[in-house]
Structure 1
Amino acid sequence: MKENKANIAISKATIDRLPIYYRVLKQIQDDGIALTSSDEMGRKIGVSPEQIRKDLSAFGEFGKKGVGYFVQELKRNIGEILGLNKKWNIAIVGLGHLGWSLANYTRFASQGFHVQAMFDIDPEKIGQKINEVEVFHIDSINEMVRSLDIQIGIITVPAGYAQDVATMLIEAGITGIWNFAPVRLDVPANVHVVSEDFSIGLNSMSYYLLHSGIHDTDTLVQCESFFSE
């Protein structure tokens, strides 16, 4: 595995682009192509070749000048940088529509992430299984997280409950949280939180569409009517 040069700080933007590079390399590999270039990768994902080379150089020297990148090797190296060669155990807290969808997302395992437990407070859901994984009562988080060696907690509960759930996960020993609740979590410095707020994404989309001149007021009113039904 390549190490980043002199342990320099790597920007979040660079880290966030690595999974995109990994995905496009997998697509290229699936197409039976053994060699690629930053130009070819850039065309496929809309990132400049210069940016790709800069991002990769933060972790070491990859590829050969005048030849390009060996697809399998670069994919393996990026996978190691991202920790995809490890097995990460996951717990999902909140089995509403979103939690249920994530529990049924079959591609987690192919990327090294394995759902080991799910938690809810609904008596009708407790004891059910999704893809052979059991739903436990939320009160058993501490016990089950420790016994199943879970490292990542996914929070899909309403905003008002998210902080309490995060605290329970942290007290159980979890240091990685993927938060889908629209609220900022207060966590210790050693706990890493990645937040997904769908409303922010949609609101940003609304702004760009409105100011691009593509949509007029009548169209926006129709959209509001659709989502309010």
Structure 2
Amino acid sequence: MSGYLVAIVFSRSASCFYKAAGEHPMKAEKISEFTTHRLSIYLRCLAALDEEGVETISSKSLAERFNLNSAQIRKDLAYFGQFGVRGVGYPVRDLRRRISNILGLDSLHKVCVIGGGNLGMALAEYGGFLQHGFSVVAVFENSPAKIGTTWRNGVPVVSIGDLKETVRARGIEMAMIAVPAAAAREVCERVFDAGIRAILNFAPVRVVPRPGTKIQSIDLSISLEGLSFFLAGRATGTR
């Protein structure tokens, strides 16, 4: 998996790591995944505007610029308080900061990867995570040939048997699971036992989270099947 593809996948799933940030009035569990996903999209749009030097923008202009829905933007932001000035718009940098805070991105989150295969390697080496506040600090493996080695970017490969101790010592909060489907459920249980409560699961199998935990699964085949359905609909004229 290329770094570019990793960026796309992670961008779509970043709301998995949403947490209550203290600035907004509603609890995280009352906000839908669709809303937090859109907040991540707004954040990227605002980052682009900020880099261009845009200081203020209305919901209408934001929607037109990035092919969004202005009413939905206002509704999503209203969950978290008052933003902007009526008739003037939103201060871009301030709104960017506040959404970042809502998404819990005001501090660096330490992440581990479980599984050191091709996918795990791509996840561990992707530098874009750090730009969004996520630092991959360890890869866990069960292969003796890989344990004790270091990825090209300096991330150490640690024995899965040392998961709990390493999570505690390094302050790891999140895990990305990149193991075969047959091992995914057991691995997720071990991750929860180690004290991690947020998992991004790339294994093509459904895993049920424990109470107070969050699992978001990314199955690329499902996305491809959706595209296949679209193409089939076009071919038969039944879009």
Same fold flag (TM > 0.5): yes
Match of 2:4 in 1: none
Give the TM-score, by structure 2 length: 0.85
Distance 1:209 1:91, change over 3 A: same
Alignment of 1:78 with 2:78, yes or no, is no
Counterpart residue type for residue 55 of structure 2: A
Task: With the length of structure 1 as denominator, give the TM-score of the two structures.
Answer: 0.88
Structure 2 segments unaligned to the other structure (5+ residues)? 1-21
Shift in CA distance, 144/8, structure 1 to aligned 2, threshold 3 Å: closer
Name the SS for the 1:64 alignment partner: coil
- Aligned-pair identity (%): 38
Query: What's the Cα RMSD here?
Result: 1.9
Q: Which has the higher contact order (CA 8 A, sep 6+)?
A: 2
Q: CA offsets per residue over residues 27-77 of structure 1, 9 Å max, x none?
A: 000011111121222123322101111111111110011111100000000
The DSSP-based 3-state class of the residue aligned with 2:156 is: strand
Q: State which drifts further: 36-45 or 104-113.
A: 36-45
Deviations 1:95-132 (A, max 9, x none): 11111111111111121111111111222221221211
1:159-185 deviations in whole A, cap 9, x for unaligned?
Answer: 000011111111110101010001111
Name the residue aligned to 2:125.
104
Which residue does 1:93 correspond to in 2?
Answer: 114
Larger radius of gyration: 1
Q: 1:24 aligns with which of 35, 38, 45?
A: 45
Q: Deviations over 1:201-224 (max 9, x none)?
A: 000110011102399xxxxxxxxx
Query: Does 2:74 match 1:53?
Result: yes
Distance 1:181 1:44, change over 3 A: farther
Residues 69 and 182 (structure 1), Cα distance of their counterparts in 2 relative to 1, 3 Å cut: same
Runs ≥4 in structure 1, deviation > 6 angstroms?
A: none
Supply the distance in 2 between the matched residues of 1:175 and 1:161 (Cα, whole angstroms). Answer: 18
